[in-house]
Structure 1
Amino acid sequence: MCRLDGARDAEIALVVPSLLQLTDAGTFSVGERGVPGWSASGFARRVGDAVPFSLGPEMCPAEELTALLIMWVVGEVVAREGEQPRHLAVSHPAGWGPYRRGQLHAAMRAVGLHDVTLVPEPLAAAENHAVRARVVPDATLAVFSLGSHAFSASVVRRAPNRTFELVNHVEGVDHHTGADFDDLLLGLVRGRLGKDGHVSAAECEAAKRAFGPMGQSVVVSGVEIARDEFVEEIRPSVDHLVGTFTRALGPAQPDAVLLVGGGCRMTVIGDALSSSVDCRVLAEAAPEHSVAKGLAVAARLVLVGPDAEPEPFETSVLVHTREASLRFPVGEAPRPDDDEFSAPPPRPPVDVSPLELPPRRVKRVTSVLKPAGRRSGSSSRSRDDDEDGR
Structure 2
Amino acid sequence: MPYVLGIHVGATATSAAVARREGGRWGAAQPLPLSSTAQTVPTVLCRVQDGSFVAGEPASRQELTHHEWVVRGFTRQVGDDAPMLVGSEFVSAQALVASMVEWVADVVAQQLGHPAEHITLAHSALWGPFRTHLVRQALAGLGLRDVTMVPEPVAVAMDYASKQQVTEQGKVAVANVGGSGFDATVLQHRAPGFDVLGSPLDAGYPSGQDLDDEVFGHVREAFGEHIDELDPTDRTHRAALAGLRAECARAKEALSYHPGATVRVDLPQVRTDFALSRSRFEQLSRGHLERIPELLLQSIQSAGLGKSSESDRAARTGKTGSVSSGGTGADDLDAVVLAGGSVRTPLAKQIVAERLETTPQVDAAPELVAARGAAVSAVGVLSKGSDQQASAAETSVLMRVEGGPDSDRVDIIEAQRQREAEPRPPVQVKAMYVEPPDEDRERRLKILKLSLAALLILAGLALTFVQTVEGHPLSPTTSTQR
Q: Which residue of 2 aligns with 1:325?
A: none
- Work out the CA distance in 2 between the residues paired with 1:76 and 1:219: 33
Note closer, same or farther for the CA distance 1:258–1:8 as it changes in structure 2 (3 Å cut): farther
Shift of 1:307: 11
Note closer, same or farther for the CA distance 1:134–1:173 as it changes in structure 2 (3 Å cut): closer
Greater radius of gyration (CA): 2
Using the size of structure 2 for normalisation, the TM-score is 0.60
Note closer, same or farther for the CA distance 1:212–1:108 as it changes in structure 2 (3 Å cut): closer
Q: 1:137 aligns with which of 161, 164, 168?
A: 168
Q: Which residue of 2 aligns with 1:247?
A: 298
Moved >4 Å (runs of 4+): none
Q: Which residue of 2 aligns with 1:4?
A: 21
- Consecutive unaligned residues in structure 2, runs of 5 or more: 1-17, 35-40, 228-239, 266-272, 307-328, 388-482
Shift of 1:153: 0.5
Q: How does 1:86-165 map to 2 (within 5 A)?
A: 86-159=117-190, 161-165=191-195
Matched, 1:17 2:42: yes
Shift of 1:213: 7.5
CA contact (8 A) 1:255 1:280 kept: no
SS at match of 2:155: helix
Q: Which residue of 2 aligns with 1:365?
A: none
Q: 2:246 aligns with which of 202, 208, 213?
A: 202
Q: How many residues align?
A: 306
Task: Report the AA paired with residue 336 of structure 2.
Answer: V
Shift of 1:242: 2.3
Task: Report the AA paired with residue 286 of structure 2.
Answer: R
Note closer, same or farther for the CA distance 1:102–1:307 as it changes in structure 2 (3 Å cut): closer
Shift of 1:112: 0.3
CA contact (8 A) 1:141 1:254 kept: yes
- Work out the CA distance in 2 between the residues paired with 1:305 and 1:235: 45
Q: 1:219 aligns with which of 256, 262, 286?
A: 262
- Consecutive unaligned residues in structure 1, runs of 5 or more: 309-390
SS at match of 1:247: helix
- Work out the CA distance in 1 between the residues paired with 2:111 and 2:277: 44
- Work out the CA distance in 1 between the residues paired with 2:385 and 2:277: 48
Q: Percent identity?
A: 29
SS at match of 2:200: strand
Q: Which residue of 1 aligns with 2:347?
A: 268
Shift of 1:306: 10
Q: Please provide the CA RMSD for this pair.
A: 2.1
- Work out the CA distance in 1 between the residues paired with 2:386 and 2:354: 37
Deviation string 1:283-307 (CA, Å, 9 cap, x unpaired) is: 1111111000100110110111399
Shift of 1:73: 1.4
Q: Which residue of 2 aligns with 1:65?
A: 96
- Work out the CA distance in 2 between the residues paired with 1:129 and 1:218: 31
- Work out the CA distance in 2 between the residues paired with 1:109 and 1:25: 20
SS at match of 1:301: helix
- Work out the CA distance in 2 between the residues paired with 1:285 and 1:140: 22
After superposing the two structures, state which structure 1 stretch, 51-60 or 250-259, moved more: 250-259
Using the size of structure 1 for normalisation, the TM-score is 0.73
Deviation string 1:271-293 (CA, Å, 9 cap, x unpaired) is: 11111123331111111110001
Bigger relative CO (Cα 8 Å, ≥ 6 apart): 1
